[in-house]
Homo-oligomer: A and B are copies of this chain.
Amino acid sequence: MDEGMSGFCIKASAAGGNGTGTKCGRWNPTTEQVKVLTELFRSGLRTPSTDQIQKISTQLSFYGKIESKNVFYWFQNHKARERQKRRKVSISVHDDHHNHNHNHDLHHHQHKDFIRRMDKISSPKHFLEVNHHHHHQQVYDHLQPERVMETLQLFPLNSFGEYSEPEKLMIRSMNANHDHHPPLDLRLSFL
């Protein structure tokens, strides 16, 4: 998992107002690019479509290396951060001491799609309820370092990456037969 980290971009451009250098790794927008993007944003563009992204990217490529994804991410981030700042501030300003229901109020209204699927395919009863262990401390159990290999030796960590064909088939068959009340057992021990 240790990234290869190929990050060694020689980027000379800075906020000062230039746009030279720029080689690899992560995109480093030139001031011109940022300017255009900002203008577009201020113009009301929040979530550009594919076409728009492409065009913007193409145009901006004149000022320097850029890819579509950069434009996409830029807008995503910019929008998100604008909102984030907004949120933080507003919370601080008129906090009514009772306004805590939209930030980290996690769970309780659960995910629709997930529930729907769960509910349909095979009533998991308290599939979600299982999650209701918030009053337990066992949550902290997992903070244990990775030295708890005893009971479940399902995943030989040193065998990842490659597996035999028969195993693939097994998996496949399992996957193919899971419609109603699948008698299938997904034992991950095949790994």
Q: Is there an interface contact between A54 and B130, defined as CB atoms closer than 8 Å?
A: yes
Q: Which of A65-124 contact B (CB under 8 A)?
A: 65-69, 72-73, 76, 88-94, 99, 101, 103-104, 106-108, 110-111, 113-115, 117-124
User: How many chain copies?
Assistant: 2
What does the 1/0 interface line of A146-165 toward B look like (CB < 8 Å)? 10100110110101111100
Q: Is there an interface contact between A2 and B21, defined as CB atoms closer than 8 Å?
A: no
Tell me the bound Cα distance from A109 to B89 in angstroms.
Answer: 34
Using known A-B contacts A15-B3, A191-B55, determine if residue A94 contacts B122 with beta carbons closer than 8 Å. Answer: no
Q: Is there an interface contact between B49 and A182, defined as CB atoms closer than 8 Å?
A: yes
User: A145: which B residues are within 8 A, CB to CB?
Assistant: 19-20
Tell me the bound Cα distance from A142 to B31 in angstroms.
Answer: 13
The interface on chain A, measured as residues whose beta carbon lies within 8 A of the other chain's beta carbons, has a size of 120
Q: Is there an interface contact between A1 and B23, defined as CB atoms closer than 8 Å?
A: no
Tell me the bound Cα distance from A49 to B94 in angstroms.
Answer: 21
User: A67: which B residues are within 8 A, CB to CB?
Assistant: 89-93, 130-131
User: A69: which B residues are within 8 A, CB to CB?
Assistant: 89, 110-111, 114-115, 128, 131
Q: Is there an interface contact between A44 and B139, defined as CB atoms closer than 8 Å?
A: no
Residue from B19, B59, B139, B174 within 8 A of A190 (CB atoms): B59
What does the 1/0 interface line of A32-54 toward B look like (CB < 8 Å)? 10011001101111111111111
User: A64: which B residues are within 8 A, CB to CB?
Assistant: 94, 142
Q: Is there an interface contact between B62 and A140, defined as CB atoms closer than 8 Å?
A: yes
Q: Is there an interface contact between A39 and B117, defined as CB atoms closer than 8 Å?
A: no
Tell me the bound Cα distance from A38 to B121 in angstroms.
Answer: 23
Using known A-B contacts A128-B68, A143-B59, A186-B35, determine if residue A3 contacts B107 with beta carbons closer than 8 Å. Answer: yes
